[in-house]
Amino acid sequence: MILTGKVKTGTNNASYWINKLDELYTLKTGMKLYPGTLNIELPEQFIPPSNVIRLEKEEHGGHVSVSILPCSIFGRKAFIIRTDTDDRLNIIEIATNVKLRDEYCLGDGDIVEVTIDN
């Protein structure tokens, strides 16, 4: 499945949580994630499938669990990260091991494609 959307500025909240939960995210994804995500606004809602990697709130002593869905962007292994409380269903947040904006010279409004791994 390919999702196409526009790059959008986020709230910088993901950088805090990826830093704070670095060891757990590395354990779950097998990758040390860059502390931040690329926000992509889709033309329609995206609901992750039920068989995703999960970071449960009990694992980190927090209040919110996270779905982690393997994907790729620009041929690079990445993950869609979404908290269970996020109601912005047309926004996906992409995490990988580099700052995607810098690596691919991306700005708000740029069109990108994300491939969901099967």
Which 3-state string (H, E, C) describes the chain? CEEEEEEECCCCHHHHHHHHCHHHHHHHHCCCCCCCCEEEECCCCCCCCCCCEEECHHHHCCCCCEEEEEEEECCEEEEEEEECCCCCCCEEEEECCCCHHHHCCCCCCCEEEEEECC
- Which position has the higher pLDDT, 34 or 118? 34
So what's the pLDDT on residue 41?
A: 94
Of residues 85 and 1, more confidently modeled: 1
The predicted pLDDT at position 62 comes to: 75
Decide which of 11 and 83 is more confident: 83
Fold of 2-116: Elongation Factor Tu (Ef-tu); domain 3 (2.40.30)
Beta bridge partners of 4: 113
Supply the pLDDT for residue 118: 61
pLDDT tens digits, residue range 62-76?
788 888 899 999 999
Confidence (pTM): 0.89
Domain boundaries, the chain: 2-116
Distance CA 72, CA 65 (A): 22
